[in-house]
Structure 1
Amino acid sequence: MEILEKAPAKLNLSLDTPFRHQDGEPEWNMVMTAIDLADYVHIETLDNTSEIIVETDSGFLPDDQRNLAYQAAKTLQQDFNVKQGVRITITKKIPVSAGMGGGSSDAAAVLRGLNQLWQLNLSKEQLALLGLKIDSDVPFCVYSQTALVTGRGEKITPLKSLPALWFVIAKPKASVSTPSIIRQIDYNRIIHQDVDAVCQAILNGDIEKLTANMGNVLEPITSHKYPEILRIKNKMISFGAQAAQMSGSGPTVFGVCTKYSRAQHVYNALRGFCQEVYLVCPFSLH
């Protein structure tokens, strides 16, 4: 038995954290969207063994229990007492350590795929709760649609699809450790985001209001260490993007354009400054 799952990258249109829980984990208040830049995850069940094998075409990814896709398979095996093994083959397109949820999306793809192959009949809500054991981005990636994300990342409220727009995405060379950025959040100095305004803008299909209210509270922290983030952001704006900001804990920066011709111009202009540049639209489930 086998299945091929598409694992889209994510962007944070709005990222805020109201407070820190006693165990040190942040409470999140975010609007996330999936984009049409995706890994492909081929999942094949193995008889006569309970082994989990992960293969990938990327030299940057671990293929053992440190891999989030491996952890997803292991979680389902253990929680539902499944004796079958599985071979997971990941074709990487999403940049690694980029703040775009690549590893989490691969893990979510494994949860969705094995839910079918092993006939576990779990709902998206149940898969999202399981995903939280692996990483806080996995629950959103189970859904992979524009959504309000709250709690520790497990509360997903799907929103309307985004209006027609394009994202220009640039990944600087830096690799960022999310836990180290989260540890540096100063809740006394944080400037909170108007996440509700972003949700309302999406509901109304209002791109002007969306771009005016986007923001990421982690951006000042990461960009202090990696100033090229702000350089790329400023270049995107000067080349014509309607808004630009860092995604997740960084270092990836994305610009929003309403016209494809404008997005192409920004994309072409940025390629002189940054090796990894992508031009993508929002991911559609249909």
Structure 2
Amino acid sequence: MYVLEKAPAKINLSLDVLFKRPDDYHEIEMVMTTIDLADRIELISQNKDCIKIESENRFVPSDERNLAYRAAKLLKDTYGITKGVKIIIEKNIPVAAGLAGGSSDAAATLRGLNRLWSLGLTTKQLADLGAKIGSDVSFCVYNTTALAQGRGEIITEIPAPPACWVVLAKPTQGVSTQSIYQQLSLNESKHPNTNGMIEAIKNNDYSTMCNLLGNVLEPVTVSLHQEVEQIKRQMENSGADAVLMSGSGPTVFALVRQESRARRIYNSLRGFCEEVYVVRMLGYQETLD
């Protein structure tokens, strides 16, 4: 038996950090949505009690460092599952890019194993398990558009954003999320209007959504990686309606309504960085089978 799951990337339309918590995590408010750039997860039953990870991407670990592996182990340990599984990861989302690729793989593994092993768990139960794996996994379990609060595990779903094209550009150098948070000075930060962003999305107001894009981590990453600022300027000069860095970076995305303009931005970036994508905004759950 096997199941297939789509594991889409996420972008942050709004990312705010409110304060540092006693548990050393940060209290955050993020409006996130999915885009049509996705990994493909195939889960195949194994008679032997084991977890195997297979991927052609050399950056994908095959042991406990892999979040999909940890998701499968968490389900096995929590529910006493003695069956095994082979997890084949077709990697399309850039690694260490601020797009939650690993978290989405883990979430897809939770959803898929819930079906493969007939566990009957609700989305909320899967999201609660996901919170034990990583801060973005709970959102990725829902796989829609949502406000994420707490350290990312408190999820409130909202409607999908207005339809548009998304151009993504990832600089060659990866970014350590931990190091970005360590250098964040909340007293000097410009905080985005989270409630305004949610209202703009609910009202299907593309223009206001573009105007309210904001990421409190962006100035920190820009100060360490000038390439991020260069990509932003190139996108803006090529006609983007709005530009923002996703997560802790380094990937930058541009929003546009017209495909022709998206292609123009894409072409203008080919000299700046190797990893450039043109995709559609999703914001709702898709399945492969």
**TM bucket by the smaller chain?**
over 0.9
- Does structure 1 residue 279 correspond to structure 2 residue 268? no
Deviations along 1:129-169, one digit per CA (max 9) or x if unpaired, are 10011110101111111111111111111111121211000
Deviations along 1:72-123, one digit per CA (max 9) or x if unpaired, are 0000000111011110000000000000000000000000000111111111
Name the TM-score, length of structure 1 as normaliser. 0.98
Deviations along 1:46-80, one digit per CA (max 9) or x if unpaired, are 11x22110011100111101000000000000011
* Whole-Å separation in 2 of the counterparts to 1:3 and 1:115: 10
Task: Trace 1:263-274 onto structure 2 (pairs within 5 A).
Answer: 263-274=262-273
Structure 2: any 5+ residue segments left out of the alignment?
Answer: none
Name the TM-score, length of structure 2 as normaliser. 0.97
1:197 alignment counterpart: 196
2:75 alignment counterpart: 76
1:109 alignment counterpart: 108
Q: In the TM superposition, what is the alpha-carbon distance from 1:272 to its structure 2 partner?
A: 2.2
CA RMSD of aligned residues (A): 1.0
1:241 alignment counterpart: 240
Q: Which moved more, 1:186-195 or 1:17-26?
A: 186-195
The amino acid across from 1:28 in the alignment is: I
* Whole-Å separation in 2 of the counterparts to 1:192 and 1:118: 43
Q: In the TM superposition, what is the alpha-carbon distance from 1:187 to its structure 2 partner?
A: 2.2
Paired residues of 2:238 and 2:268 also in contact (CA < 8 A): yes
Deviations along 1:229-270, one digit per CA (max 9) or x if unpaired, are 011001101100011010001000000101111111111111
* Whole-Å separation in 2 of the counterparts to 1:267 and 1:193: 27
* Whole-Å separation in 2 of the counterparts to 1:208 and 1:89: 40
* Whole-Å separation in 2 of the counterparts to 1:191 and 1:161: 26
Deviations along 1:200-255, one digit per CA (max 9) or x if unpaired, are 11011111100111110111111111010011001101100011010001000000
* Whole-Å separation in 1 of the counterparts to 2:189 and 2:125: 33
* Whole-Å separation in 1 of the counterparts to 2:96 and 2:162: 28
* Whole-Å separation in 1 of the counterparts to 2:250 and 2:113: 32
1:143 alignment counterpart: 142
1:38 alignment counterpart: 38
- Does structure 1 residue 207 correspond to structure 2 residue 194? no
> Identity over aligned residues, as a percent?
51
1:7 alignment counterpart: 7
Could you say what secondary structure the match of 2:20 adopts?
A: coil
* Whole-Å separation in 2 of the counterparts to 1:248 and 1:5: 23
Paired residues of 2:103 and 2:140 also in contact (CA < 8 A): yes
Q: In the TM superposition, what is the alpha-carbon distance from 1:188 to its structure 2 partner?
A: 2.0
Task: Trace 1:28-67 onto structure 2 (pairs within 5 A).
Answer: 28-47=28-47, 49-67=48-66
* Whole-Å separation in 1 of the counterparts to 2:168 and 2:213: 16
2:88 alignment counterpart: 89
* Whole-Å separation in 1 of the counterparts to 2:199 and 2:188: 26
Could you say what secondary structure the match of 1:19 adopts?
A: strand
Q: In the TM superposition, what is the alpha-carbon distance from 1:21 to its structure 2 partner?
A: 0.8
